[in-house]
Structure 1
Amino acid sequence: MRQALIIFFAAMLFTACGKVEGVVPSVPVNFRASRTDPRFTALNSVGGSVVISGYGVAGLLLYKQADGTISCYDRCSSYQPEKLCAITPDETGFTATDPCSGAKFSLSDGSPVKAPATKYLRSYLVNTTQFEIFVSN
């Protein structure tokens, strides 16, 4: 049901009058997970990242910052977002790459670090408790 709603809202955004081109669409995101889930163990260390499908425009990328906080970005590249290319985290743990254009983004703040990208990745709010991770916008 969630995926159907996300697809519906994404379709509405792409067909809306007066749309802004070159911007990752804003879609509702409401993700919750247990911190003890084994799929999230990478977030126990700095530079660890986890990819989550089915949320946002092209999925979510959770990243553990140097200060211990967790950031979340939409995996949809900000370079030609209409192509819906999903970024993938690099082995270095500090950047993510758009496989369609070769653009790279810093995972510390979502900024573009390699052309042709010039815009930041779309970020989402992350709240954590001792037991859960909440991502929303």
Structure 2
Amino acid sequence: MANRRWPILLPLLAILASSCQDNGSSPGIPNVPVNTQLNVNSQLYPDLRQDGGFAYLPEGYKGIIVVRQNAGSYLAFERSCSYDPTNTCKLEVDQSRLFIVDPCCGSQFNLKGQVTGGPAVIGLRQYRTSLVASTLYISN
């Protein structure tokens, strides 16, 4: 009896497994090529000299937020909300400097790009970062 169920269960399991794959992108956000760099010690980015500091860059779909985790670790996120990438707003670091917010829908994200308040349920699109001496390379 159990052997008769396998022909039905196997295709169903294959469909479920393939639908769970994550391609690393947030739905609806256009994939714009990013390949930029910045000097983290530059006078243009004074906030990047302290942990939790940030800077806005014009690259990407709506721009990029660069966040300093510590002296050797920086994260870069797309400024488009994963909830509604077509709205006219750009994500901003809150005045408290504790989280990122979408002023249109109110979604909130921690400084690691994870959702902390909805309506968004998917984290921010993250770009690759690589720090060599004082040059931060950002790409997708």
| Aligned counterpart, 1:38 | 43
| Aligned counterpart, 2:28 | 23
| Aligned counterpart, 2:137 | 134
| Aligned counterpart, 1:119 | 122
2:28–2:85 Cα contact (<8 Å) kept:
yes
Q: How does 1:16-95 map to 2 (within 5 A)?
A: 22-53=27-58, 55-66=59-70, 68-95=72-99
1:88–1:96 Cα contact (<8 Å) kept:
yes
2:91–2:100 Cα contact (<8 Å) kept:
yes
The percent of aligned pairs where both chains have the same amino acid is: 28
- Give the TM-score normalised by structure 2: 0.75
2:41–2:49 Cα contact (<8 Å) kept:
no
RMSD (Å), alpha carbons: 2.0
- Give the TM-score normalised by structure 1: 0.77
Unaligned runs of 5+ in 2: 1-25
Quote the offset at 1:28 in angstroms: 0.4
User: Aligned pair count?
Assistant: 116
Quote the offset at 1:36 in angstroms: 3.0
Unaligned runs of 5+ in 1: 1-20
1:35–1:130 Cα contact (<8 Å) kept:
no
2:76–2:138 Cα contact (<8 Å) kept:
yes
2:72–2:131 Cα contact (<8 Å) kept:
no
